[in-house]
Amino acid sequence: MRHLANTWFAERLGDSGIRTIYLADHHPAHMPCLEIMRLDWLRAAEQARRLEMRFVAVWAAGAGCHDQDRGARHGLYAYMAFAHPEHCHALLRTPLADENPSLPSIAGEFVAASRMERHMADMFGITIEAAPDARPWIRHEHWPRGAHPLRDDFDGKNPMPPCPCSGDYDFVRSASSGVYEIPVGPVHAGIIEPGHFRFLAVGEQILNMEERLGYVHKGIERAMQGRDAASGAKLAARISGDSAVAHAWAFAQASEYAAGIKPPRRASLIRGILCERERMANHIGDIGAICNDAAFAFMHMQMQRLREDMARLHQEIFGHRLLFDTIVPGGVTVDLGEAQLARLERQTRAIAAEVEHLRSIYADHPSIQERVIGSGVVSVDDARDIGLLGFAGRASGNYPDARIEEAYPPYDELKVHVAEGKSGDVATRVWVRFEEIADSARLIGEMVERMPDGPIAAEWTPPEPGVSGFAAIEGWRGEIAAWVRFGEKGLIDRYFVRDPSVINWLGLELAVREVPVPDFPLNNKSFNCSYSGNDL
């Protein structure tokens, strides 16, 4: 599976005088990694913006085996990734100084980079120059000063010493006496993930909502280091429980690219079925929950029932309700017999038909329509500026879909329909979800039909030390970008993953600027970003 090297971005950068070095130890070739000088970092981001590329992620990593072979001039590298609808993803990296590493902020070009840069600053102690927001992000106040968990000298085995301090996070404030603050969370009245929301409100009207996340930081990135690929896939499936398939797939595909392994076609199709089932189940559950937030409990109960049916069949066929540990580097773990394929296909069709029926009930109830239409609008311009992903992007006129842009197997042989919404309100996000449920059901049918005989996994042989791979997988929330680099003995040396929530959380902040306070939960649920995937 050696693709032609993708030189498009390197040529464009060359046109504007930025020298790039193609890194041969990065795969796949159609998503190349280019090394640039640190001086060119900001200009490269400007170029990417001018080329109308989509910002994917920015992250840092210590030097890999190959970098050390070259004389270990640098201990730390910064990476950023962009995507173009026609020219795939491209990665750029630059070496950072060993002493007091610093990096210019690209948040001026791409707003979504700001939180990722704060994450880098927290985890590596990198100084971000001219950062629009220099507050810590994942590193909460009780972490000891100077604790940067992804640095090599950080002791990852023992708990950090307790640091007595009070929360002094500098929230956005208002000087006006008519504006009051509403702190919500991280402990909520319902059983949901922890996150803190700080509202500035006048009466019942929200002026500004600010998110404070990081309460479910589990140290995933650090925990990945030193694992072999099989155990890495297990951990990846647990990054965000509702995206177990997509996260495991992103990890597996990045590893496979690095190792030069092509999973058998049967495995790819099974992965596709798993991922589309996950998409259906989550959209179904969320549509019900959105209606429940507007006190339309009927829909919630019906959708819960359908979701439960799916989970039970998953338990029966794949041994896990949420499809954990079904994908491993090289392939999948569960083979599907004729009978099981038929059952999956039959249930998918039945559920899609029921969802269509419920959709007509939802559409015929003015009182629920009244709530969702026009609430929480993210404009097309805003959505493109922050690069809103997945269904939230598709509701606001931004349509990136890795299944089409990358067309990784099995989507290279399937046609994915993208729902193209523009209004960007809760109703459109629900509409996109309904459309995606129908499309996923159709795709599952096609995949079952195309299922060839053959093995379900290729043999896994770890790549040589220092080789990295990058993959973008369209999970149900949107594109999951994963970058993995292997070290000695086939163990993971560094794993970076960007859950779509990292970007879509910004969309929620934009959406609720013009809604009354009690409409916030409805909007929050319509995005349903992952806390766990964001906090890692």
Partner 1 sequence: MSSLPLQIAQALLLVLLAPVAAGFVASVKARLQNRHGPGLLQPWRNLAKLFAKQVVLAENASWIFRFAPYVVFTATVMAASCVPALLVDTPLSLTADVIALVSLLALARFFLALAGMDIGTAFGGMGASREMTFSALAEPALLMSVFVLSLGAHSTNLTTMIQHTLNTPIMLQPSLAFALAAMLMIALAENGRIPVDNPTTHLELTMVHEAMILEYSGRHLALMEWASMIKLTLFATLIIDLFMPWGMVAGPDAAGLLLALVAWVLKIFGLLLALSLAETYLAKLRLFEVPEFLSMAFVIAFLGLLSHYMLEVNA
Which residues lie near partner 1 (CB under 8 A)? Answer: 180-184, 188-191, 204, 291, 293-298, 301-302, 305, 365, 367-368, 370-371, 516-521
Distance CA 200, CA 209 (A): 6
181 vs 210 by CB, closer to partner 1 = 181
* Contact indicator for 27, 85 with CB cutoff of 8 Å: no
Spatial distance between the Cα atoms of 237 and 232, rounded to a whole number of angstroms: 9
Closest distance of CB 177 from partner 1, Å: 15
CB 163 within 8 A of CB 143: yes
Nearer to partner 1, 253 or 423 (CB): 423
Smallest distance, partner 1 to C-beta of residue 358, A: 12
Q: How far apart are the first and last CA of the chain?
A: 31
Q: How far is the CB of 354 from partner 1 (least distance, A)?
A: 12
Q: Give how far the C-alpha of residue 161 lies from the chain's centroid of Cα atoms, to the nearest Å.
A: 31
Instruction: Specify the residue for token string 């999956």.
Output: 344
| DSSP helix/strand/coil, 1 | coil
* Nearer to partner 1 (CB atom), residue 326 or residue 375: 375
φ, ψ of residue 450 in degrees (nearest 5): -85, -5
Instruction: Name the DSSP class of 454.
Output: S
Distance of alpha carbon 23 from alpha carbon 258, whole angstroms = 13
Burial class (CB in 10 A: 0-12, 13-18, 19+), 445: middle
Phi, psi dihedral angles at 167 (to 5 degrees): -65, 120
Beta carbon nearer to partner 1, 183 or 319: 183
Shortest distance, position 394 Cβ to partner 1, whole Å: 24
Closest approach, Cβ 453 to partner 1, in A, equals: 41
Nearer to partner 1, 172 or 182 (CB): 182
Give the nearest distance from C-beta 192 to partner 1 in angstroms. 8
Cα three-residue angle 98-104-108, rounded to 5 degrees: 160
Two structure tokens written together for 503:
């970007």
Q: 287 or 323: whose CB is closer to partner 1? A: 287
Tokens standing for residue 494 = 């560094």
Shortest distance (Å) from residue 183 CB to partner 1: 6
Q: Which is nearer to partner 1, 147 or 517 (CB)?
A: 517
For partner 1, give the closer residue by CB, 82 or 520.
Answer: 520
Min. distance of Cβ 81 from partner 1 in angstroms? 36
